[in-house]
Structure 1
Amino acid sequence: MRWLLIVLTGLLAVLQYQLWLGEGGFSKKLMLQRQVEQQRQENKELQLRNSILENEVANLKDGFDSIEERARKDLGMIKEGETFYMVVEKEDQ
């Protein structure tokens, strides 16, 4: 009878080890859940960025306003007949 109790206790210990620390156990499950949540957050950010880029592409294809805005902002271009003024702020010393 005593050896049966020892065997069953050993079996219980092995099963508990598999449950908590083994492959597919709770610790692995928690780690995977954290990774899934991080990936979902990254996917949301990338979807937002993609929708912004899609809107930009659509604007560039459809109208000249966004092209003009980009030329002014990124390339420093001005329209014919406009006067360019550069405002330089004085540095505090």
Structure 2
Amino acid sequence: MLRLVALILLALLLALGVKLWAGDWGLREIARLQGQIAMQKAENAKLKQRNDALAADVEDLRNGKDAIEERARTELGLIKPDEIFYQVVDPDPAVKKNDGH
């Protein structure tokens, strides 16, 4: 009788061990989910940094004329009435210079 109880308890222990390692909420699944959480936290940190930079840009545009002027100059190419505009054009890399060779 004692052997039968010990055998049943051993079988239950083995079944629980298998469930722990390979079940739906086993250790492998938990490790996989923890990896996904770490990746999502890294992505969230990047997005928060981007949002903070955009919020700072919005605040600059709301409060200062310097930021608006800088945007107008860089994005729209606007210049002040008393300024002279010079455009520097890089030579086309497809056109080769004749070195005489």
Shorter chain as denominator, the TM-score bin is: 0.7 to 0.9
Paired residue for 1:89?
90
Output aligned runs, 1:10-29, within 5 Å.
10-29=11-30
Q: Once superposed, what is the RMSD of the aligned Cα atoms?
A: 1.8
Which ranges of structure 2 fall in alignment gaps of 5 or more residues?
A: 97-101
What is the SS of the residue equivalent to 2:24? coil
Task: Give the CA deviation at 1:15.
Answer: 1.4
- TM-score (ref. length: structure 2): 0.79
The aligned counterpart of 2:75 is 74
Identical positions, percent = 41
Cα displacement (A) at 1:14: 2.0
Gaps of 5+ in 1: none
The corresponding residue for 2:64 is 63
CA drift at 1:8: 4.5
Give 2:86's aligned amino acid: Y
Give yes or no for the alignment of 1:37 onto 2:38. yes
SS at match of 1:55: helix
TM-superposed CA distance for 1:75, in Å, is 0.8
- The residue type equivalent to 1:33 in the other structure is Q
Code of the residue aligned with 2:73 in structure 1: it is R
Question: How far off is 1:12 after superposition?
Answer: 3.3
Whole-angstrom CA distance in 1 between matches of 2:79 and 2:86: 11
